[in-house]
Structure 1
C-alpha cells in the first residue's frame, strides 16, 4: 500500500525534475501550469528552475513556444503547443455536454458554433468581439439560447472550449492581469483520451482515477476509456483508492529546503480537491483555498510539504514579501529564504525590499 509520503516523493520527481534547458522544455517537463493568475507561470518556473528570468519566459510566450488559454475545467493553463493540444482534447470532452445542456442546443449545433468561433478568431479578437460573434450566431441559429449565453458562465462561451489561446492586448506584459485578446490555436496533431491520461500521469502521477477526472474535468467513464489505451501499474493508496502510474516513471525524490510556489500550483491543482493529503493537511488546505471564490493563496513549500503561504502584493517593481508558516510545522529559517527570494525576483523581474516571517495559528 502506498503512503502519502511515497505518493508525494513520486510526484515531486516529476514536478521538480532536473533542468532540461529552455523555457519550453521546462514547461514540457512539468506538463502544464494553471495560470488564471498570469504571474503563476513565471513564479512556478522560478520555484522549479531557480535562475529562470522574466525576459526568458516572456520571450517563450512571444515566440509561441509556450501558449496560454482557457482549457480543462474552464480554467487558464500554460503549456507547450504539444501539451495544449492534449488539454484541448480534454476540454472538448469535458465541456461539450455542459455547454450543450446550458444552452439547450444539440451537439451538432454546439460543434458548428465553436467551428464558427475558431474561423472568426483567425485574427486576434477581444472578449467583446467574441461575445458579439456568439450572439450573432445564436440569433441566427438558436435564438432561444441568447439569454443563457448572456448570463453567468455563458459569457465565456466564445473562448472557453480549448481551441483558442490568449495574449495580452497591451503587448508583452505576460505576467499581468490586463485585457487579453484571443486567437485560434492550431493543434499539433490528433489527440485522444489515452493522451490525456498519459499527460496527467507523466506530470502528476501516481494518481487515482478521481484525481485524473478532477484535473481534466472529465467523467470517470472517460478516464477509464483513456486508461484502456495505456500500459499502467496499479497500487492501493492510503485513502482506499487505487492509484495508477506509468511503468517507466522516474524514481521518487526528496525536496529539502524552501520554495515559494504560485497560486494554483500543480502540487495542489493536479489532484482531486478532496484528496490532496500528499502535500498538505486538510486543515491547512482549507486555509489556503477559498471555496467561495475558488482562489488559492500562494503556498509555502518546506521539505516537500505545503506548510504556509506568502504574499508580495501589488505590481510595483520594488515590493515587500510576507512569508507565513502554520503553527506546529517546521519554521523556515531566514537564511533558507535567500535562494527562493532570489528566484522569485529573477522570475518576476522585481526587487524584494524586505522579508517578513511570521507564524499563523490554525
Structure 2
C-alpha cells in the first residue's frame, strides 16, 4: 500500500526534475502550470530551476515557445505548445458539455460557435471584441441563449474554451495582471483523451482517478476511457483509492531545503482538492485556500512539504518579503531562505529589501 510520503516522493521526481535546459524545455518537463496569477510561471520555474531569469521567461512567452490561455477547469494555464494541444482537448471534453447546458445549445451548435470564435481570432482580439462576436453569433443562430451568455460564467464564453492563447495587450510585462488580448492557438496535432490522462500522470502521478478528473475538468467516465487507452500500473493508496501510474515513471526523490512556490502550484492544484495530503495537512490547506474567492496563498515548501506561505506584495521593483511557517513544523533556516529569495529576485527582476519570518498558529 502506498503512503502519502510515497506519493509525494514520486510526484516530486516529476515536478522537480533535472534541468533539461531552456525555459520551454523546463515548462514541458513539468507538464503544465496554472497561471491565472500571471507571475506564477516565473515563480514556479524559479522554485524548480533556480537561476531562471525574468528575461528568459518573458522571451519564451514572446517567441511562442511557451503559451498561456484559459483551458482546463476554465483556469489559465501555461504550457509548451505540445502540452497545450492536450490541455485544449481536455477542455473540449470537460467544459463543452457545461457550456452547452448553460446556454441551452445543442452539441453541434456549440461546436459551430467555437469554430466561429477561432476564425474570428485569427488576429489578436480584445475580450470586448470576442464578447461582441459571440453575442452577434448567438443573435443570429440562438437568440434564446443571449441572456445566459450575458451573466455569470457566460461572460467568459469568448475565450475560456481552450482554443485561444493570450498575451499582454501592451508591452511584454508577462508577469503582470494587465489587460490581455487573445488569438487562436495553432495546435501541434491531434490529441485524445488518453493523451490527457498520460500528460497528467507524467507530470503529477501517481494519481487516483479523482485526481485526474479534478485536474482536467473531465468526468470520471472520460478518465476511465483515457485509462483504457494506456498501459498503467495500479496500487492501493492511503485513502483507500486506487492510484495509477505510467510504467516508466522516474524513481522517487527527496527535496531537502526551502522553495517559494507560486499561487496555485501544481503540488496542490494537480490533485483532488479534497485530498492533497501528500504535500499538505488538511488544517494547513484550509489556511492556505480561501473558499470564498478560490484564491490560494503562495505556499512555502520545506523538505518537500507545504508548511507555510509567503508574501511579496505590490509591483515595485524593490519590496519586502514576508514568510510565515506553521507552528509545529520546521522553521526555515536563514541560508535556505537566502537561496530561495535569490531565485525569486532573478525570476521577477526585483530586489527584496528585507525578509521577515514569523510563526503562524493554525
TM-score norm. by structure 1 comes to 1.00
Instruction: Give runs of aligned pairs for residues 323-338 of structure 1, distance below 5 A.
Output: 323-338=323-338
Instruction: Give runs of aligned pairs for residues 73-222 of structure 1, distance below 5 A.
Output: 73-222=73-222
Long gaps (5+) in structure 2? none
Instruction: Look up the match of 1:301.
Output: 301
Deviation at 1:149, TM superposition (A): 0.3
Instruction: Look up the match of 1:17.
Output: 17
Q: Deviations over 1:310-336 (max 9, x none)?
A: 000000000000000001111111221
Instruction: Look up the match of 1:3.
Output: 3
SS of the residue corresponding to residue 352 of structure 1 reads: strand
Q: Distance in 2 between matches of 1:336 and 1:304?
A: 13
SS of the residue corresponding to residue 218 of structure 1 reads: coil
Q: Distance in 2 between matches of 1:123 and 1:193?
A: 29
Q: Distance in 1 between matches of 2:105 and 2:239?
A: 40
Deviation at 1:292, TM superposition (A): 1.1
Q: Deviations over 1:74-113 (max 9, x none)?
A: 0000000000000000000001110000000100111000
Q: Distance in 1 between matches of 2:215 and 2:325?
A: 27
Instruction: Look up the match of 2:247.
Output: 247
SS of the residue corresponding to residue 199 of structure 1 reads: helix
Instruction: Look up the match of 1:46.
Output: 46
Q: Distance in 2 between matches of 1:64 and 1:335?
A: 36
Q: Distance in 1 between matches of 2:252 and 2:336?
A: 23
Q: Say what the alpha-carbon RMSD is for the aligned residues.
A: 0.4
Q: Distance in 2 between matches of 1:356 and 1:34?
A: 27
Instruction: Look up the match of 2:354.
Output: 354
Long gaps (5+) in structure 1? none
TM-score norm. by structure 2 comes to 1.00
> Which aligned runs of 4 or more in structure 1 are off by greater than 3 angstroms?
none
Q: Deviations over 1:157-188 (max 9, x none)?
A: 00001000000001200000000000000100
Instruction: Look up the match of 1:281.
Output: 281
Instruction: Look up the match of 2:261.
Output: 261
Q: Distance in 2 between matches of 1:116 and 1:96?
A: 15
SS of the residue corresponding to residue 59 of structure 1 reads: helix
SS of the residue corresponding to residue 95 of structure 1 reads: helix
Q: Distance in 2 between matches of 1:57 and 1:269?
A: 22
Q: Deviations over 1:320-353 (max 9, x none)?
A: 0000000111111122100000000000000000
